[in-house]
Amino acid sequence: MAAMTTRRILTGDRTTGPLHIGHYAGSLQNRVALQRDYETYVLLADVQALTDNAANPEKVRANVLEVALDYLAVGIDPRVATIVIQSLVPEIAELTVYYLNLVTVARLGRNPTVKEEIRQKGLEGHLPAGFFVYPVSQAADITAFGAHLVPVGADQLPMIEQTVEIVRSFNRTYSPVLVEPEALIPRAARLPGTDGQGKMGKSLGNAIYLSDPAEVVRRKVMGMYTDPDHLRASDPGRVEGNPVFSYLDAFDPDREGLAALKEHYRRGGLGDVTVKRRLAGVLEDLLGPIRARRAEFATDPHEGMAMLRAGTERGRALAPRTLDDVRRAM
Ligand code: TRP
């Protein structure tokens, strides 16, 4: 039988800062689990990072290596998966220009994640056009690599929907050369911030980073928002909407112990400090080995950059082929 066509993954992160446990639960875990089953490409999205950091290219540049170290630390294996620096794949920019003609301004304005980001970042009134259209450049990222599957956090679903619309429109208008991708989102709900707010975010000061030292993680956990009505240990407490339990749901391997703990908390008689200590332990079990691997890789940044250059060389071969198909089709 002829070899089955390769199934490809493309996913990535903006290089604006270190990755946090929300990224881990949202997409890093899936990437590590699937990297041997799919031809996997992981994009260090430095061009996308510039869409709201144009005045800060140095920050974006510095974080290329930081995010790459996070990848290696969680177990993305550069011998198996290909890590690519976005700014070294100029074909993505050209694809973006063509795709922009297939999308209306009104459609872009309806993207719920972009709307939330505009609010959170306070970009109203001086919104960079590049930021407004970044879902289109993300469609270019995904299609440049001909990706079938895109493992991302739930907040990125609108980007994959936008990509599918562009692919269908392109294939209908010209000829069917683009691959229609599918999102892979985790079963668990998105992790809230340590302050109990909707989203864990770099700009919100409510994140636990994969690279945080053990004492910092412990301090952040002990300061976490819980059930505001759970004033005394003897009071019954609420598990739903309580971020300490959301994190335990995401990371505690002892499911039975966790179920009993929730039961006890609901009944009353269990203090927040006890639950937080358990969470601190669970997170340390997860982050300890990640931190150690990160430190190991970080000792040789030149080696790290050489690995990134090699990955980019390998990975960027796909994009000119897609661009060629696209130009022919048009
Ligand atoms: N927008 C994504 C984020 O903010 C990062 C990203 C850029 C991405 N290009 C991508 C994700 C392509 C998936 C596929 O996290």
**Quick one: average pLDDT of 214-222?**
97
**Quick one: average pLDDT of 319-329?**
98
**Quick one: average pLDDT of 107-126?**
95
> Can you give the pLDDT at residue 304?
87
Residue 247's nearest CA partner among 203, 299, 208, 292 is 208
Spell out which residues line ligand 1, taking CB within 6 angstroms.
10-14, 43, 45, 48, 138, 141-142, 150, 152, 156
Q: What is the pLDDT of residues 188-206, one digit of tens each?
A: 778 999 999 878 887 788 9
> Can you give the pLDDT at residue 187?
81
Q: What is the pLDDT of residues 15-49, one digit of tens each?
A: 999 999 999 998 999 999 999 999 999 999 999 99
> Can you give the pLDDT at residue 210?
97
Rounded to whole angstroms, how far apart are CA atoms 230 and 31?
38
Q: What is the pLDDT of residues 302-312, one digit of tens each?
A: 988 899 999 99
> Can you give the pLDDT at residue 201?
80
> Can you give the pLDDT at residue 37?
96
> Can you give the pLDDT at residue 2?
41
Q: How many residues does the chain have?
A: 330
Of the chain, the percentage scoring pLDDT greater than 70 comes to: 99
Residue 4: band (very low, low, confident or very high) from pLDDT cuts 50, 70, 90: low
Which of left, alpha, beta for 98 (phi over 0: left; psi -120 to 50: alpha)?
alpha
13 C-alpha to ligand 1 centroid (Å): 5
Rounded to whole angstroms, how far apart are CA atoms 169 and 174?
8
Q: What is the pLDDT of residues 101-113, one digit of tens each?
A: 999 999 999 999 9
Q: What is the dihedral of CA 189, 193, 195, 197, to 10 degrees?
A: -60
233 C-alpha to ligand 1 centroid (Å): 42
Q: What is the dihedral of CA 144, 106, 153, 126, to 10 degrees?
A: 100
With b for 16 or more beta-carbon neighbours within 10 A and e for fewer, the 14-34 pattern comes to: bbbbbbbbbbbbbbbbbbbeb
Q: Average pLDDT of the chain? A: 95
**What are the structure tokens assigned to 214, written together?**
């053990």
DSSP symbols for 55-97: T-HHHHHHHHHHHHHHHHHHT--TTTSEEEEGGG-THHHHHHH
Rounded to whole angstroms, how far apart are CA atoms 210 and 207?
10
260 C-alpha to ligand 1 centroid (Å): 38
138 C-alpha to ligand 1 centroid (Å): 6
Work out the number of other CB atoms within 10 angstroms of the CB of residue 243.
21
> Can you give the pLDDT at residue 301?
87
Residue 3 pLDDT > 60, yes or no? no
Residue 157 pLDDT > 80, yes or no? yes
232 C-alpha to ligand 1 centroid (Å): 43
| Contacts (Cβ under 8 Å, ≥6 apart) of 29 | 74, 186
Q: What is the pLDDT of residues 251-266, one digit of tens each?
A: 999 999 999 999 999 9
Best substitution site from 9, 14, 23 to test ligand 1's pocket, by max atoms within 8 Å of Cβ? 14
Best substitution site from 83, 159, 200, 318 to test ligand 1's pocket, by max atoms within 8 Å of Cβ? 159
Rounded to whole angstroms, how far apart are CA atoms 26 and 31?
10
156 C-alpha to ligand 1 centroid (Å): 7
Best substitution site from 30, 152, 164, 318 to test ligand 1's pocket, by max atoms within 8 Å of Cβ? 152
Residue 167: band (very low, low, confident or very high) from pLDDT cuts 50, 70, 90: very high
Task: Please say whether the beta carbons of 32 and 75 come within 8 A.
Answer: yes
Q: Residue type at 132?
A: F
Pairing of strands 8-14, 39-45: parallel
